[in-house]
């Protein structure tokens, strides 16, 4: 039997909300139903009524979904665009709440979204529920049950209004009984980059890292790999959710930091109590990788180099070596030193659309069937088209989520791809030139150049630089 | 780190080094033992990915003789615990890994192996 629950979502990263809910539900084997009307599952709205088979399931979701708010999950009794409608619905829900009539202690809360309700009307609202005839004592501090009325107002930011102006002109009002406080948002503070013992200018903010970790379906017994590990931002929440993690990077110093003794990534993992779940860190160019076989990982989670700050590189070079460089190469050959020594192998730039297509091919090889690739793709907002994502896909790999984080003229898309095939594929060759499978140039092609030209429309691309947020 | 599970999953990847390029040989290995939580499902699940002989030989070289030469048919708890220990709790912190075929030397420092190739090795 399905029971309806009212969920309160954080107003943050709207497009990530339903993909996260779907991932956490899949991970825990939780069937759920979304509202039928599109406007009722609009992720820009704070409330959503979701059907679940068990109350336990609501708890599991509230404890793992980063985008579910603190005071957040209610057994749903009714909603309406007026109080008449709400009360009619609530009367019809009587079988759900009549068990609380005889002797349950209770309190009523009246809250709102995008508005502040004056105290006098809060009292009126509570009195309008007197037909429920709860006989137990009112207890504001420690009641057996908390019932809440939640009024949703349209966003009026940017307009000047007096304090309670528009009171009562809500879009929708909801009513239910509080059953669970979402705790997952506490993790955003726990994994705060600024409080981490090791981070760098490529570190990913904690909320996004957590969302990415949820997209991987991280849980005990799984192995997850980040081939552009850097300072390891996604490894920590992924390991915290129980998975074992591998990381590699072309530049060992990104994973080590300055401390000569213990690698930075291990120090940060120790701070979170997950050091033993970082299986290993390796230094190599992912386009020349030493993995002995495929189908190793349950997920690959990564933030590929965009080519702006943490430039995309690969081994090899376009131009001839200077004598000095040739000598260095020779020295390295005769006497290989560890990766924290000054020798840095020659690298050449790696264009983003090639890198993205290569990453999908690599994931198809390295993921076990059903495994997921979760990664960010930066893109030019005005030029992006849905088909861009498909220019990098290959057979056996299917996009299951694609959520935009919008920074204005540019943005980045968190893409989740599932390996749907159980065929065996060879390791990709990383040939520099890809024949485009689709006759289409994606907006993320030459992202670095577009970035430094300030994302001008195609016709007027010149040489000036944008001053907005810098992609890393 | 380098744990033996990792050692068992990495091969020499120098261009055209395709035979006898696995397993890499440890030299001057500095070993540390570190406890890791035991997850029998994980250990069971990774077995099909392992090169058994290479694992047993490497473990023995490093002084652990708990694994049988042949993968047993019955995977009882004692066996899984030994395998868990060999795969995840033996860490090579410093030393080198050498390819038996092309002799490329992969150095390990503070537990991180440098698997980067030089320019003439990538073709
Ligand atoms: C955007 S950063 C990743 C940041 C990371 N998520 C963190 O938390 O710090 C990209 C990383 O990719 C690495 N990189 C660039 N080209 C590479 C390649 N061909 N193979 C492996 N790593 C590469 C860079 O050294 C850099 O650390
Ligand atoms: Zn070799």
Written as six digits, the tokens of A66 are: 């980063």
The more confidently predicted of residues A289 and B120 is A289
Least confident of A251-255, A258-262, A460-464: A460-464
CB B1 within 8 A of CB A281: yes
- Residues A207, A288: one domain? yes
- Residues A106, A209: one domain? no
The more confidently predicted of residues A164 and B72 is B72
Would you say residue A173 lies in a domain? yes
Q: What per-residue confidence (pLDDT) applies to A467?
A: 38
Q: What per-residue confidence (pLDDT) applies to A241?
A: 98
| Structural domains counted in chain A | 2
Q: What per-residue confidence (pLDDT) applies to A284?
A: 96
How far apart, in whole angstroms, are the C-alpha atoms of residue B31 and residue B93? Answer: 6
Nearest by Cα to A226 from A252, A204, A249, A207: A249
pLDDT tens figures, A397-456: 999 999 998 888 888 899 999 999 999 998 888 876 545 455 677 878 887 777 777 777
Residue numbers in A near B36 (CB within 8 A): 276-277
**In what helix (H) or strand (E) does residue B66 lie, and over which residues does it extend?**
none
- Residues A342, A269: one domain? yes
* Per-residue pLDDT band at A324 (split at 50, 70, 90): low
Q: What per-residue confidence (pLDDT) applies to A345?
A: 52
pLDDT tens figures, B13-63: 999 999 999 999 999 999 999 999 999 999 999 999 999 999 999 999 999
- Residues A359, A242: one domain? yes
Is the pLDDT score of A386 beyond 80?
no
Residue numbers in A near B3 (CB within 8 A): 279-280
Is the pLDDT score of A319 beyond 70?
no
How far apart, in whole angstroms, are the C-alpha atoms of residue A72 and residue A9? Answer: 7
**In what helix (H) or strand (E) does residue A252 lie, and over which residues does it extend?**
helix A252-256
Q: What is the dihedral of CA A96, A99, A101, A106, to 10 degrees?
A: -80
HSE-up (13 A, CA, CB side) for residue A371: 23
CA distances for B83 relative to A353, B30, B62, B75, angstroms: 42, 20, 14, 10
- Residues A272, A406: one domain? yes
Q: What per-residue confidence (pLDDT) applies to A458?
A: 59
Q: Which of these three, A130, A158, A184, is where a domain ends?
A: A184
Written as six digits, the tokens of A408 are: 């204005």
Give me the percent of chain B exceeding a pLDDT of 90: 94
- Residues A300, A332: one domain? yes
Written as six digits, the tokens of A99 are: 């068990």
- Paired sense of beta strands A397-406 and A410-419, if any: antiparallel
Query: Which ranges constitute the DSSP H helices of A272-372?
Result: 323-334, 352-366
Contact of B112 with chain A, judged by CB distance below 8 Å, is answered with: yes
Domain region containing A110? 3-184
DSSP state of B86: I
What value does the mean pLDDT take over residues A47-57?
Answer: 95
Would you say residue A466 lies in a domain? no
Is the pLDDT score of A365 beyond 50?
yes
CATH number for the domain spanning A174: value is 3.30.2130.30
Least confident of A357-361, A390-394, A398-402: A390-394
Residue numbers in A near B113 (CB within 8 A): 280, 282-283
Q: What per-residue confidence (pLDDT) applies to A410?
A: 80
Is the pLDDT score of A333 beyond 80?
no
Nearest-CA distance B3 → chain A (Å):
7
* Closest CB from A221, A282, A329 relative to B112: A282
Output the CA A365–ligand 2 centroid distance in Å: 22
Is the pLDDT score of A325 beyond 60?
no
**Mean pLDDT score of chain A:** 86
How far apart, in whole angstroms, are the C-alpha atoms of residue A380 and residue B34? Answer: 47
* Per-residue pLDDT band at A348 (split at 50, 70, 90): low
- Residues A224, A137: one domain? no
- Residues A196, A178: one domain? no
- Residues A80, A114: one domain? yes
Contact of A327 with chain B, judged by CB distance below 8 Å, is answered with: no
DSSP letters for B11-60: ---STT--SS--SPEEEEEEEEE------HHHHHHHGGGS-HHHHHHHHH
Ligand 1 pocket, CB under 6 A:
A 200, 202-204, 227-228, 230-233, 249-251, 254, 285-287, 303, 305, 310, 312-314, 350, 472
At how many degrees (to 10) do helices A55-64 and A17-28 cross?
A: 120
DSSP state of A335: S
DSSP state of A429: -
Contact A276 B37 (CB under 8 A): yes
Q: What per-residue confidence (pLDDT) applies to A392?
A: 86
* Per-residue pLDDT band at A217 (split at 50, 70, 90): very high
Would you say residue A464 lies in a domain? no
The strand pairing partners of B32, in sequence order, are B91
Closest ligand 1 atom, residue A229 Cα? 5
Contacts of A311 (CB under 8 A, 6+ apart): A305, A349, A448
Q: Which ligand is nearest to the CA of B10?
A: 2
Would you say residue A198 lies in a domain? yes
Q: What per-residue confidence (pLDDT) applies to A471?
A: 46
Q: What is the dihedral of CA B28, B29, B30, B31, to 10 degrees?
A: -160
The more confidently predicted of residues A184 and A158 is A184
Q: Which of these three, A184, A201, A233, is where a domain ends?
A: A184
**Mean pLDDT score of chain B:** 96
How far apart, in whole angstroms, are the C-alpha atoms of residue A308 and residue A472? Answer: 6
Residue numbers in B near A282 (CB within 8 A): 6, 10, 112-113, 115
Would you say residue A216 lies in a domain? yes
Would you say residue A462 lies in a domain? no
What value does the mean pLDDT take over residues A214-223?
Answer: 98
* Closest CB from B2, B42, B107 relative to A221: B42
Q: What per-residue confidence (pLDDT) applies to A335?
A: 46
Contact of A244 with chain B, judged by CB distance below 8 Å, is answered with: yes
**In what helix (H) or strand (E) does residue A302 lie, and over which residues does it extend?**
strand A297-302
Is the pLDDT score of A309 beyond 70?
no
- Residues A176, A214: one domain? no
CATH architecture of B2-115: Single Sheet (2.20)
Contact of B99 with chain A, judged by CB distance below 8 Å, is answered with: no
- Residues A320, A273: one domain? yes
CATH number for the domain spanning A216: value is 3.40.50.150
- Residues A18, A154: one domain? yes
């Amino acid at each position: 039997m399905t029971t309806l629950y009212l969920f309160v979502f954080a107003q943050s990263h709207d497009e990530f909300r339903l993909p996260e809910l779907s991932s956490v539900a899949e991970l825990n084997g939780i069937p759920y139903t979304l509202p039928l009307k599109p406007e009722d599952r609009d992720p820009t709205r704070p409330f959503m009524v979701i059907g679940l088979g068990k109350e336990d399931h609501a708890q599991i979701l509230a404890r793992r979904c980063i985008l579910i708010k603190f005071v957040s999950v209610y057994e749903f009794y009714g909603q309406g665009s007026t109080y008449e409608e709400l009360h009619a619905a609530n009367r019809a829900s009587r079988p759900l709440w009549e068990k609380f009539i005889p002797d349950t202690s209770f309190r009523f809360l009246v809250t709102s979204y995008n508005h502040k309700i004056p105290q006098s009307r809060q009292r009126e609202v509570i009195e309008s529920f007197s037909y429920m005839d709860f006989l137990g004592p009112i207890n504001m501090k420690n009641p057996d049950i908390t019932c809440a009325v939640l009024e949703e107002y349209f966003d009026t930011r940017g307009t000047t209004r007096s304090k309670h102006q528009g009171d009562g002109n809500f879009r929708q009002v909801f009513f239910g009984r509080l059953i669970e406080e979402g705790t997952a948002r506490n993790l955003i503070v726990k994994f705060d980059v600024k409080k981490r013992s090791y981070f760098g200018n490529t570190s990913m903010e904690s909320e996004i890292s957590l969302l990415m970790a949820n997209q991987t379906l991280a849980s005990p017994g799984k192995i997850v790999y980040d081939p552009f590990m850097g300072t390891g931002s996604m490894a920590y929440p992924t390991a915290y959710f129980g998975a074992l993690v591998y990381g590699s990077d072309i530049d060992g110093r990104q994973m080590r930091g300055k401390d000569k003794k213990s690698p930075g990534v291990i120090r940060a993992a120790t701070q979170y109590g997950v050091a033993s779940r970082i299986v290993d860190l390796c230094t190599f160019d992912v386009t020349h990788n030493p993995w002995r076989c495929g189908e190793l990982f349950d997920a690959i989670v990564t933030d590929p180099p965009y080519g702006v700050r943490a430039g995309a590189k690969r081994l090899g070079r376009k131009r001839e070596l200077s004598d000095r460089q040739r000598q260095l190469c020779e020295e390295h050959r005769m006497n290989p030193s560890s990766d924290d020594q000054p020798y840095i192998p020659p690298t050449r730039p790696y264009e983003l659309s090639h890198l993205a297509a290569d990453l999908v091919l690599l994931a198809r090889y390295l993921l076990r069937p059903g495994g997921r690739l979760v990664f960010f793709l930066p893109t030019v907002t005005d030029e992006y088209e849905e088909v861009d994502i498909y220019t990098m896909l290959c057979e056996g790999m299917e996009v299951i989520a694609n959520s935009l984080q919008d920074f204005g003229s540019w943005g980045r898309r968190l893409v989740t791809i599932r390996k749907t095939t159980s065929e065996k594929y060879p390791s990709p060759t990383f040939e520099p030139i890809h024949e485009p499978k689709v006759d289409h140039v994606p907006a993320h092609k030459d992202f670095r150049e577009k970035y430094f030209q300030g994302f001008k429309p195609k016709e007027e691309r010149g040489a000036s630089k944008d001053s907005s947020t810098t992609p890393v | 780190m380098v744990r033996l599970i990792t050692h068992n999953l990495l091969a020499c990847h120098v261009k055209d080094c395709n035979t006898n390029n696995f397993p890499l040989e440890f030299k001057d290995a500095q070993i540390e033992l570190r406890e890791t939580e035991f997850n029998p499902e994980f250990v069971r699940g990774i077995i099909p990915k392992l090169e058994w002989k290479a694992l047993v030989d490497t473990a023995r070289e490093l002084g652990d003789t708990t694994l049988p030469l042949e993968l047993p048919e019955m995977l009882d708890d004692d066996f899984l615990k030994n395998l868990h220990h060999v795969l995840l709790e033996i860490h090579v912190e410093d030393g080198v890994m050498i390819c038996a075929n092309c002799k490329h030397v992969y150095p390990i420092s503070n537990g991180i192996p440098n698997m980067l190739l030089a320019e003439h090795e990538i073709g």
